[in-house]
Amino acid sequence: MTLSRVKDPGLAGVPATVKGLSLVSLFNDFASEMVYPLLPALVTRTLGGGPLLLGLLDGAAELTSSLVKWISGQLADRPGWRRPLILWGYAIAVLVRPLIAGAGSALQVVGLRVVDRIGKGIRTPPRDALIAEITPVRLRGRAYGFHRGADHFGAVLGSLAAWYLLTRGADVRSVIGWSIAPGIVAFVMLTVVLRGVTSHESRVTGEEHVGTRDSRLTTHDSSTFWPPVLALTALTFFRLPETLLILRLQDRGVAISAIPLVWAGLHVVRSASSYPGGWLSDRLGPRRIVAAGGLLFAAVAFAFGAELSPAQAIALFLLLGLVAGLMESGERAVVARLAPVRTGRGFGSYHALVGAAALPAGLVFGALYQSGSGRTALWASAAGMSVAVIVWLIVSPAERD
């Protein structure tokens, strides 16, 4: 059956549980983004740490999260494990994030941030696997797009809340402490959403899952799974880290006081484009949409390396929000197709490799930026991304109607 003959249910086709999990992610990211943009100020100004410690903070947190995602993905395929893994993952984050406000040293901040990311590592693979399980195959792009859109909108709210509290006289520690409020809301909502997950929802898409098992994408082995996932990892590696993109904004004359608002604007674009990106993934195929997102990043990174006014730099930075809107839902839809049986393990492997790529990418492009220039790092990123897109189109599975 061709796509043109299938009635498009649109947003109404996204399962209610996916919408509930999206609201949970919205409030959780609300809490997270009240903390994350303020960590550099807490570490360097309040606690006397330096740039090296900031690099350690991000690198250690992402590496730890990647290792935990690998393990969590294995556990998520065990009967009855997904719900407790998701609950514990969110609970750890909600409890640990506010404790950062009372840290007495920069190393304590690093340790607490690592524990926070352990929570993310525990919950992400089972949550993504659950979304794949309860969503019809033809709607997965939209389901992941809706979820990512809500997540990014939460980041907008969190950034704006932090900015507002700071302008009203609150100090950095107080703002971080207040992150417990939206975190508690997220956890309470999660308990309600997961209570509504029944075996009936799992059976709704059972026939579609059985059908996909007969395709050449059924086995989670080296010939069908790893080449595309490694190509997705390469696409992540060549994406210049966001901290360096923010540094480029500052180099182009954007005031530091304006950075939180620009950061919020980036997530506005991401949020607004995530569901349309998922819709395009369902209509045109995730393979093409992921490639389009990679090429868009390469083009913007190349332009970002030129001599720009502050306004031009901000416009290009915001345009990067479309990259996430195109790629995030498409990448998850591909992983779900590659691992239709052991979906938790598939997402665990994917998230682990992609997360592990963040540390070497940060070191490589950070060294290029420091030893050369922002232009050198950005143009190297653009060139590497272009090659990675070509590799992706070669090894990724072609879509079928």
Residues 6 or more apart whose Cβ sits within 8 Å of residue 8? none
| Chain-centre distance for alpha carbon 190 | 19
Question: What's residue 219's pLDDT?
Answer: 42
Q: What is the domain-level CATH number for residue 263?
A: 1.20.1250.20
Phi, psi of 225 (to 5 degrees): -95, -50
- How many domains does the chain fold into? 1
Is 2 domain-assigned?
A: no
**Domain boundaries, position 64:** 13-395
The size of the chain, in residues, is 401
Is 388 among the domain residues?
Answer: yes
Put residue 291 in one of left, alpha, beta given phi > 0 → left and psi -120 to 50 → alpha.
alpha
Tell if the pTM clears 0.85, that is, is over it. Answer: no
**Residue 253, phi-psi category: left (phi > 0), alpha (psi -120 to 50), beta (remainder):** left
Q: What angle do CA 325, 58, 146 make, to 5 degrees?
A: 20
Is the separation of the CB atoms in 400 and 287 below 8 Å? no
**Model confidence pLDDT, tens digit, residues 151-173:** 989 999 998 998 888 888 888 89
What would the DSSP string read from start to end of 87-141?
A: HHHHHHHHHHGGGGGG-SSHHHHHHHHHHHHHHHHHHHHHHHHHHHHHS-GGGHH
pLDDT of residue 202: 44
Could you write out the three-class secondary structure of 52-99?
HHHHHHHHHHHHHHHHHHHHHHHHHCCCCCHHHHHHHHHHHHHHHHHH
The Cα 357–Cα 355 span in angstroms is 5
Q: 167, 135, 378: which is closest to 260 by C-alpha? A: 167
Question: CA 140, CA 131: separation in Å to the nearest integer?
Answer: 8
pLDDT at site 103: 93
The answer to whether position 231 is within a domain reads yes
Residue with tokens 């809107």: 325
Q: Would residue 234 count as lying in a domain?
A: yes
| Maximum Cα–Cα distance across the chain | 63
Is 5 a member of any domain?
A: no
Instruction: Mark the ranges of the chain whose per-residue pLDDT is less than 50.
Output: 1-5, 199-219, 401
Q: Which residue has the tokens 């220039």?
A: 373
